[in-house]
Structure 1
Amino acid sequence: MRNVTKCFNTPQGGNHDVLRDINFTVEAGEFTAVVGPTGCGKSTTLSLISGMERPDTGEVLIDGRPVEGIGKDVGFVFQTDAVFPWKTVINNVAAGPRFRGASRKDAHAEAADWIRRVGLAGFEKYHPHQLSGGMRKRVALAQTMINRPRVLLMDEPFSGLDVQTRQIMSDELLALWDLTRPSVVFVTHDLEEAISLADKVVVMTAGPATVKEEFAIDLPRPRNPRDIRHTPEFVKLHERIWEALRDEVQVAYSRTVTAPPETAA
Structure 2
Amino acid sequence: MAPPLIELIGATKRFPSGSGSVHTAVRELSMTVDPGEFVAVVGPTGCGKSTTLSLVSGLQPASAGQVRVNGDEVTAIPDGVGYMFQTDAVMPWRSVLDNVASGPRFRGESKADARAKAADWIGRVGLAGFEKYYPHQLSGGMRKRVALAQTLVTDPKILLMDEPFSALDVQTRALMQDELLRLWSGSGAAVIFVTHDLDEAIALADKVVVLTTSPATVKDVFEVPLERPRKVEDLRLTEEFRKIYSDIWESLRGEVDKARQKGATSVA
- What TM bracket, shorter-length normalisation? over 0.9
**Aligned counterparts of 2:222 and 2:190: Cα–Cα separation in 1:** 17
Deviation at 1:260, TM superposition (A): 3.9
Alignment-derived partner of residue 235 in structure 1: 242
1:80 to 76, 80, 87: 87
Alignment-derived partner of residue 50 in structure 1: 57
**Aligned counterparts of 2:61 and 2:117: Cα–Cα separation in 1:** 34
Q: Which runs of 5+ in 1 are unaligned?
A: none
Whether 1:155 and 2:162 are equivalent positions in the alignment is yes
Whether 1:220 and 2:206 are equivalent positions in the alignment is no
1:180 to 174, 187, 193: 187
Query: Contact 2:9/2:30 (CA < 8 Å) preserved in 1?
Result: yes
**Aligned counterparts of 1:39 and 1:232: Cα–Cα separation in 2:** 31
Deviation at 1:29, TM superposition (A): 0.4
1:199 to 206, 218, 242: 206
Greater mean alpha carbon deviation, residues 116-125 or residues 5-14: 5-14
Q: Deviations over 1:159-186 (max 9, x none)?
A: 0000000000000000111141210000
**Aligned counterparts of 1:54 and 1:113: Cα–Cα separation in 2:** 35
Query: What is the DSSP-based 3-state SS (H/G/I as helix, E as strand, rest coil) of the residue aligned with 2:185?
Result: helix
Alignment-derived partner of residue 77 in structure 2: 70
Q: Which runs of 5+ in 2 are unaligned?
A: 1-7
**Aligned counterparts of 1:155 and 1:72: Cα–Cα separation in 2:** 19
Q: Deviations over 1:45-102 (max 9, x none)?
A: 0001000000100011011111111133111000000011111000011111111121
**Aligned counterparts of 1:101 and 1:242: Cα–Cα separation in 2:** 46
Between the two proteins, what is the percent identity of the paired residues? Answer: 59
Whether 1:41 and 2:48 are equivalent positions in the alignment is yes
2:139 to 91, 115, 132: 132
* Partner amino acid, structure 1, of 2:177: S
Query: What is the DSSP-based 3-state SS (H/G/I as helix, E as strand, rest coil) of the residue aligned with 1:25?
Result: strand
Deviation at 1:109, TM superposition (A): 1.1
**Aligned counterparts of 1:253 and 1:188: Cα–Cα separation in 2:** 18
Whether 1:59 and 2:46 are equivalent positions in the alignment is no
Query: What is the DSSP-based 3-state SS (H/G/I as helix, E as strand, rest coil) of the residue aligned with 1:259?
Result: helix
Shift in CA distance, 72/83, structure 1 to aligned 2, threshold 3 Å: farther
1:171 to 164, 172, 178: 178
Deviation at 1:243, TM superposition (A): 0.2
- How does the TM-score come out when normalised to structure 2? 0.96
**Aligned counterparts of 1:8 and 1:176: Cα–Cα separation in 2:** 36
Q: Deviations over 1:102-143 (max 9, x none)?
A: 111111111111000100001000111111111111000000
2:217 to 197, 210, 215: 210
* Partner amino acid, structure 2, of 1:130: Q
* Partner amino acid, structure 1, of 2:29: I
Tell me how large the CA RMSD over aligned residues is: 0.9
Query: What is the DSSP-based 3-state SS (H/G/I as helix, E as strand, rest coil) of the residue aligned with 2:82?
Result: strand
**Aligned counterparts of 1:100 and 1:257: Cα–Cα separation in 2:** 48
Whether 1:117 and 2:124 are equivalent positions in the alignment is yes
Aligned pairs, how many? 261
- How does the TM-score come out when normalised to structure 1? 0.97
Query: Contact 2:69/2:78 (CA < 8 Å) preserved in 1?
Result: no
